[in-house]
Amino acid sequence: MMSSSKKIIIIGASSGIGKALAIQYARRGHLVAITGRRIELLEEIKTSFPSNIIVKSLDVTANENIQHIESLVQELGGLDLLIYNAGFGEPSATLEKSIDERTIKTNVVGFAEIVRYGFEYFAKQGYGQIAGTSSIASVRGNSLAPAYSASKAFMSVYLEGLYIRSKKMKLNIAITDIQPGFVRTKMARGNKQFWVVSLEKATRQIFEAIEAKRFRVYISKRWRLIAILMKIVPLFIYRRIA
């Protein structure tokens, strides 16, 4: 069983939700390894919790993800919770190739590689938890960001597959699929934003969902209704707003 003090890795924690979650866990006395491409931002977070935070520069689109994760696990002295919060997505009216490639490398390739490692690690260990920040955009396609919505759908379906696999194999591995709507962070782009929630509220709800080991959580909770409506609305109607 896990001890009261957890060993946690957060992929993508230099700002926004990842940073806020790191602070939440460090403040409660957990040992947290945080990663991101901008090491100076990670170091800034560490100054507030020098005994509880470990930092490592990590670009999930590169080719050394697992070596970095293994190094962090060794430095932490184990692993109880892996949070994949790295993400990329931008509107692309011209279907710009560079945007699609970076989106897929971050939200699909890097995600799958790191989360797969986490699942295998926890299966050998006998317990653990994986949480991934997907998006309400995973529910259906979007004309201005098709790669983003598709990549987030990949994340959610992959996490669902791991959840089912864990149950079938009777593994003590909890899976949490986090699906935010609009959260007031630098990642939030576009003019058609509504029901925007503060970073503080989003972080609180995400933290509570992870701690409760819920499988899927919508941020904020009322986005569950939007997800249901998006799934059932006919394509000839949906295409006019997407």
pLDDT at 125: 97
215 near 175, Cβ under 8 Å?
A: yes
What distance in Å separates the CA atoms of residue 54 and residue 33, rounded to the nearest whole number?
A: 4
Superfamily of domain 7-238: NAD(P)-binding Rossmann-like Domain (3.40.50.720)
pLDDT along the chain (242 residues), means of 10: 78 95 96 96 96 96 93 97 94 89 96 98 98 90 88 97 98 96 61 71 94 92 76 76 72
| Ordered alpha helix ranges (H), the chain | 16-27, 39-46, 65-76, 97-104, 111-125, 146-168, 199-211, 223-232, 235-238
pLDDT at 119: 98
pLDDT at 2: 43
Alpha-carbon distances of 223 from 9, 11, 36, 186, rounded to whole Å? 27, 24, 28, 20
User: What pTM does this model have?
Assistant: 0.89
pLDDT at 185: 64
What distance in Å separates the CA atoms of residue 13 and residue 122, rounded to the nearest whole number?
A: 22
pLDDT at 163: 98
pLDDT at 183: 76
Marked catalytic residue, from 25, 121, 148, 158: 148
- 148 catalytic residue (yes or no): yes
pLDDT at 177: 97
Closest CA to 130 of 99, 90, 170, 171: 171
pLDDT at 15: 93
Other residues' Cβ atoms within 10 Å of the Cβ of residue 116? 14
Closest CA to 35 of 68, 81, 61: 68
Maximum CA extent, the chain: 55
